[in-house]
A and B are shown apart, each in its own frame.
Chain A
Amino acid sequence: MGESWFRREFLTPRRLIFNVIFYGIHLFLFAYGWHSQETNKKLAALNALTWSVWTSRGAGLVLAFDGGLILIPMLRNIIRVVRPRLAWLFPADENIWFHRQVAYSMAFWAMVHTTAHYVNFFNVERTQVRPVTALDIHYKQAGGVTGHFMLLIMVLMYTTAHHKIRNQCFEAFWYTHHLAFFFMIGLYAHATGCFVRDTPGPAYIPTFPFYDTQHCLGYMSWRFTIWPGIIYFGERIWREIRARRSTRLSKVLVHPSGAMELRIIKPSFKYVAGQWLFIQVPDVSGFQWHPFTITSAPEDPYVSVHIRQVGDWTQGLGERVGAGPSVVAALTQAAMGGKEKDESVYGTRGDFVELDPGHSARALPTVRIDGPYGAPAEDVFKVEVAVLIGAGIGVTPFASILKHIWYRQRKGNLGSLKRVEFFWVCRDAPSFGWFQSLLQEVEAAQVDPNFLRINIYLTQKIGEDMLWNIAVNDAGAEYDPLTLLRTRTMFGRPDWKAIYGRMRQAVETGQYLPGSNSQLRTKVGTYFCGPGVLAKSIKEACVHNTSANVEFSFAKVRRSIGASISSHSTRTLQEHF
């Protein structure tokens, strides 16, 4: 995996701090739970069960903590509001990552808790400290029933949440993960029935909370853990309401590369560049919400997303709007045919086809969108030089950002931004035909040739034909034969250290930013979206080249979070949701 587990978990300061705090709290709660049970005089009878009851109580408290924590990273709307104020604490969109850490921890402590209880109930039956059998507690009492039920739900949820399954069949993951509702009910009900008590039978009372706190001595953790659940439930309802506000699918454009562009008009939907949304098409599925990066700029009169037909849902959507896989295939072929006439083997001119709803039998489907979510990329206007790096599918957020920059450039409202370096590292450009056409527009609109520089790196191996094509067509041509941009395509992986080194030199000698005052420190902000390994090497290059005159900063734009154009493809690294 490139780097060792130890290096990643312990030698990265931020991760180390997280690990110490996160697991520290867990261990502390375990110890506290253990201790408070062991020293509780009222629970002397239970303490005759010794270590197993201390373990189960300690692990139970930890699980309550995790149960309260697991929904917090899913409170998307609250996070979106709170994040800007806590940006120093959470560097990027790491909420799914955190959700997973809590889930892993939960699985581990569930194992500890359950194992200890199996021993507890065995001994309860043997000693008859309570007049029940082990199986009575397991399968007749609230704690046992909900516990086993939650374990079953966990198996289903964890297995379907594996990235392999998510990519194969997002639906399986999506629907199964909604078992969380029953899981949370189970969690809040887990300690009902006055389970931890100093009396042989449960001490119920007729008024709320229906158990006698004198004798029922559990941690009462549900009083705390229920709040994230309630808030989350409220958020889901709020999302439903918001999604029902007037929304209209105004246009569907099909790009020759097979991507569909949906242009949606929703006046109540406000967003900034770099964010993503959930989309629902009731005609395809009445329940599913699918995440996609917003590819339009906030200045555009519509909200657009680009969708590639790779999964069930996306293909269903294609069929519904009359641009099913067969149509797209035909289009692609036509484009290829046309291209042959142009005698360029690769790259399409990005001529899209607009689907005219008037001609097809059915009107365009209703769509609903929910969002926006994710960190905005407004920071680009606070630096003098913005380096935007998109790798593979990670290029999608930059569609919106580049367009947004372009709009602000036209309005002369660029903040301190003086130059933009755009890097696009991908295996094969042709599959991103739609993005090429966007780049062409942006490139063609440049008045100052130095403002935006596009650097495209193709990392795939090149066949002989393509090599000749490049060699012959490239020389002296106005456009690059591969991307049809004025910018030349480069081959192989970029050498970030060298690139950043040159940039620093150019800035320092004053060639890069004419008129920049060498007394002031030039700020160069890097915004990256793509796989973590690449992020690391770029970050290193940033740190390495920071000098007295030039400050290189590094930020990750959301990690291609599912929201990517091919949100259900099998190849991209995705963090769905």
Chain B
Amino acid sequence: MGNLIWHEYARFVSLSATTYTIWSAFWGFFYRKFFWDFVGGTIRAPGGIQPASNVAFLITIIVKAPVVQILSMVLGFGLLALDYPAPFLKGTSIYRSFVFRIVLLILQAFFAILYYQGTNGALWSVIAAGCFMRAQMLGEKMEEAKNNRGRGGKA
């Protein structure tokens, strides 16, 4: 499609997805809920869904202690630093690697899909990962930032 540079596009999606995920993880600290608790769960009024006993471990790391949310948030900040990019990452081999990003984004989607607030972040992360995959498949390369060049349109 056109002259679209997929990794540059993927970056925007990734930044959106990651920002959303960080935000969702933040709210996940206060309103803790296992996303998949409806599988085998029973509804109690009041009290909401009581998850099935076979997911007790996930309840422990999501509801009892927000471990997944914390991991998701940390990973999110990591991805944000990578994609923004943070000055210390710019120009490193990690920064230029699409595969690394794809792995991180899939991991982020995996964490985010586990808790209640993370669904959209997870979906968008997968989309971003898909765009990076497309970039990888097309053999795109991350260009070094052009030094000493102002933005267009400056007088």
Contacts and interface: CB of A to CB of B under 8 A. Distances in A.
B4 to A, nearest CB: 4
* Residue among B2, B16, B17, B35 with the highest chain A CB neighbour number at 10 A: B2
B3 A118 contact: no
Interface string A158-193: 111010110011111000000000000000000000
Contacts of B13: 155, 159
A531 B120 contact: no
B132 interface: no
A533 interface: yes
B9 interface: yes
A180 to B, nearest CB: 18
A420 to B, nearest CB: 23
Interface stretch (B41-49, B69-77, B87-95): B41-49
B33 A134 contact: yes
A165 B49 contact: no
A571 B149 CA distance: 12
B146 interface: no
Contacts of A513: none
A531 B2 contact: no
Nearest to A425: B155
A119 B27 contact: yes
A571 B152 contact: yes
Interface residues of B, number: 36
A115 interface: yes
Contacts of A171: 1-2
Contacts, number: 97
Interface stretch (A120-128, A320-328, A430-438, A545-553): A120-128
B40 to A, nearest CB: 13
Interface in A280-317: 311-312
A152 B49 contact: no
B5 interface: yes
A165 B9 contact: yes
B110 interface: no
Contacts of A312: 2-3
Interface in B33-57: 33, 35, 38, 43, 45-49
Nearest to A133: B49
Given A122-B116, A311-B3, A164 B47 contact: no
B12 interface: yes
Contacts of A135: 35, 38
13 contacts: A118-B31, A128-B43, A135-B35, A135-B38, A158-B16, A168-B4, A172-B9, A311-B2, A311-B3, A531-B153, A533-B153, A537-B155, A572-B152
Q: Identify the 3 closest CB pairs spanning chains A and B, nearest first.
A: A169-B2, A169-B4, A128-B45
Interface of A: 1-2, 111, 115, 118-119, 122, 125-128, 131, 133-135, 138, 148, 151-152, 155, 158-160, 162, 164-165, 168-172, 311-312, 493, 531-534, 537, 571-573
Interface of B: 1-5, 8-9, 12-13, 16-17, 23-24, 27, 31, 33, 35, 38, 43, 45-49, 116-117, 119-120, 123-124, 127, 151-155
